[in-house]
Amino acid sequence: MSAAAAPRSCLRTVLLFGASGFLAGFIGPMVLTPDSNIGPLVGVLFTGPAGVLIGLAACLLSRAAPRLFSTGALRALAALLVLATLYACLPEPRLVGSVLDAEIADCRAPPLLYPAALQNWEAALARTPQARPLADWRQQAQRNVESFDALAVTLHVLRSRAVFERRRPWDRGERFARPWSEEPPGEHAYFVRAGGATCAQWQSRERALYWPVRDETDEPIGPAAVWPPVDAAGFLGLQELGEVPARIGALLR
């Protein structure tokens, strides 16, 4: 290679690797992980500059060993960089929820929780002077809590088993359960639809499996439309608790 051609060849090598890393890191996250909070910045901040550095190293190596680092070999290495970048951009499994192995520790009617919840929200408002609550948020919340056809139960969770959903192109939607995880001592509050049941009936239950109900979509959670919330569950800070769905129970076997 002539002295004049060497810089041009080196520049092409740097551009090859830099463009490969940039485009893979720029487009890959947008296609493979559209909900990522960094998206194309992977290419701009990481894989693009890394590709330039790899290109410079490849240029030096090709000068030292031109037969080993031929044009075809350099293109193959650039393709490997693209594949490695795309693989790193593959989305991690998404948490769907957790199965709880628990005992009922306590059960109360929701109105009994209203005074403590009101005190907590008033303290939160005092710490947030920029908040704009509804004018009658206390009255609305109280009415909703008093008419809430549910029971507030406290679980003593003994162990849990997380359920995830894969999101890679070839196994998207496939769900699996991780092994049982022993829970540290503690109690967690939920609400259950009353359906005519009483606290006495719930407190007489033996140890069982439960499923905290949650939004199973992949949509990001947006800010609350009303704060403090006036719906009963939101005001009391309770998540719905249900039986383990059949499709989830099948994963536990």
pLDDT digits (tens, 9 = 90+) for 159-207: 999 999 999 999 999 999 999 998 777 899 999 999 889 999 999 999 9
In a shared domain, residues 74 and 127: no
In a shared domain, residues 173 and 223: yes
Whole-number pLDDT of residue 61: 84
- What would the mean pLDDT of 79-108 be, rounded to a whole number? 95
Here the tokens at position 243 are 């039986």
DSSP 166-197: --STTTTT-EEEPPPEEPPS-EEEEEEE-TT-
Share of the chain above pLDDT 90, in %: 73
In a shared domain, residues 214 and 248: yes
In a shared domain, residues 99 and 83: no
In a shared domain, residues 105 and 34: no
* Whether the Cβ atoms of residue 40 and residue 26 lie closer than 8 Å to each other: yes
- What would the mean pLDDT of 238-253 be, rounded to a whole number? 95
Whole-number pLDDT of residue 244: 97
Mean pLDDT over all residues of the chain?
Answer: 90
- What would the mean pLDDT of 21-39 be, rounded to a whole number? 86
144-163 pLDDT tens trace? 999 999 999 999 999 999 99
Whole-number pLDDT of residue 86: 94
In the predicted model, is pLDDT for residue 3 greater than 60? no
Here the tokens at position 193 are 């639809």
Contacts of 236 (CB under 8 A, 6+ apart): 110, 113, 114, 117, 145, 152, 191
Whole-number pLDDT of residue 243: 95
User: Total structural domains in the chain?
Assistant: 2
> In terms of residues, how long is the chain?
253
Write down which residue in 58, 88, 118 finishes a domain.
Answer: 88
Which pLDDT band holds residue 224 (cuts at 50, 70, 90)?
low
| One-letter amino acid for residue 161 of the chain | R
Write down which residue in 88, 119, 134 finishes a domain.
Answer: 88
Which pLDDT band holds residue 221 (cuts at 50, 70, 90)?
low
**Helical packing angle, 114-126 and 137-146, nearest 10°:** 160
Whole-number pLDDT of residue 71: 85
Domain that holds residue 67: 5-88
In a shared domain, residues 125 and 201: yes
In a shared domain, residues 112 and 60: no
Whole-number pLDDT of residue 219: 58
Which pLDDT band holds residue 70 (cuts at 50, 70, 90)?
confident
In a shared domain, residues 213 and 105: yes
In a shared domain, residues 101 and 206: yes
Contacts of 47 (CB under 8 A, 6+ apart): 21, 22, 24, 25, 81, 85
In the predicted model, is pLDDT for residue 47 greater than 80? yes
In a shared domain, residues 63 and 126: no
- What would the mean pLDDT of 100-109 be, rounded to a whole number? 97
In a shared domain, residues 29 and 106: no
In a shared domain, residues 110 and 232: yes
